[in-house]
Every structure is written in C-alpha cells, then in structure tokens.
Chain A
Amino acid sequence: AQTVTQSQPEMSVQEAETVTLSCTYDTSESDYYLFWYKQPPSRQMILVIRQEAYKQQNATENRFSVNFQKAAKSFSLKISDSQLGDAAMYFCAYRSGQGAQKLVFGQGTRLTINP
C-alpha cells in the first residue's frame, strides 16, 4: 500500500519570505500522480499544484513550485513571497496511475504566515 508522510506538523514564515514544505511517499508503482492541496481554516480544500511522475520537469504555478525527486520519493512544495492568504493546512497526496480516483493523503502541515 502507498503511504505519504509529512514530517512537519507546523511551519511558520514571515510574510514575503520563502518556505518549503516537505513530503515523502512510498510506492512500488511507476505511474502515479502527486498533489499539494491547501485547506484554509473553515474553507474547502483546493488544489495547489500537481505533478505527473513521468514528467521530469518540476511543476510550477505562480508562486508555488515543487521539487520532485523521484528516486528519493520526495515531493516538496516551495512557496515564494508568502502572503497572509497562504495560511492554511497543506496536504500532500498521492494517486495511482492505475484506475480509481483514490487519493492517499499525508497528515498535513499547518502553515502560519507572520505579518
């Protein structure tokens, strides 16, 4: 079974600074997808960024980028120029490339932005 581990339960960063959230995963599959989801307090979960395992290039979405190290099974999220609106729980998630839409989530990292 696949597992996802987020080793940082909480992180904090000064506004406008850069922060990196860590995620490692375990799988024997070669075809899979990785995601970072953001869940603001009392608001719904939204997709931040996704990475296809077969793509070597790291995904980027504006101020959000990932460092995907397939051999090390590591998938970290970098947030540049942190903003107050980035404060949220961040979940790393894995989905197999075979069939169903089942997401396997990490335990989450609570990110605080200090003004």
Chain B
Amino acid sequence: KAGVTQTPRYLIKTRGQQVTLSCSPISGHRSVSWYQQTPGQGLQFLFEYFSETQRNKGNFPGRFSGRQFSNSRSEMNVSTLELGDSALYLCASSLAGRNTDTQYFGPGTRLTVL
C-alpha cells in the first residue's frame, strides 16, 4: 500500500504570495492532519479534516486554511505569505480518526518564503 504522499516536495515563494500544498492519504484513510515544523517553534498542529469537515484547528492565523475532498485528499492554503511561514509542512493520515488509530506521516513540503 502506498504511503502518504505530499506535493510538491519543495516550494519557493515570495512574501505576499499565496501557496497551496497537497496531501494524499494512505488508501482507505479518512482523517488528514497538518503540522508545521520550524526550528524555532518545533512541530505545531494546524488542523485536522475528517470526511470533508474540519474537526479541530490549531492556533494559527486565518491565512492558513484547508479543505478535504470526497476522496480524502487534502489541501492547505497559505495566503499573503510571510517570511515566518518558511517551514516544513507535514501531513499525517489515519484510518478513521479514532483515538486508537495510528497517524502516518508524509515526507513533507518544504516551503521557503523569500
């Protein structure tokens, strides 16, 4: 079974632009979570989607948004990019989003904002 895939793997943008990152979960998985990883702040939870609905959201500004499609693929969007948005963005999928489920991570998208 293929693992979690994320596209693109690398992105370079300039301040003020917007960006869309994509995550394809493991086949059959319906829950997708997004995390931001930076050297200063570590790994921080952005949001979780299950059955096309956002179930939980971390403490990030409204510039960060996401959605999930009927095939469980998820996208996150960052508008009006700032230098501080440079980070590794990870997504993780789990089978049904239950407490007992294990989350499997993708390789991440490294975003650089110039």
Binding site for B on A (CB under 8 A): 31, 33, 37, 43-47, 50, 91, 95-108
Contacts and interface: CB of A to CB of B under 8 A. Distances in A.
A101 B56 contact: yes
B97 interface: yes
A95 B105 contact: no
Contact of B101 (A45, A96, A101, A106): A101
Contacts of B99: 31, 33, 95-99
A50 B102 contact: yes
A43 B43 CA distance: 15
A47 B48 contact: no
Majority SS at the chain B contact face: strand
Given A45-B90, A95-B99, A97-B99, A102 B45 contact: yes
A102 B101 CA distance: 12
Contacts of A96: 99
Contacts of B44: 105
Nearest to B56: A100
A31 B102 CA distance: 16
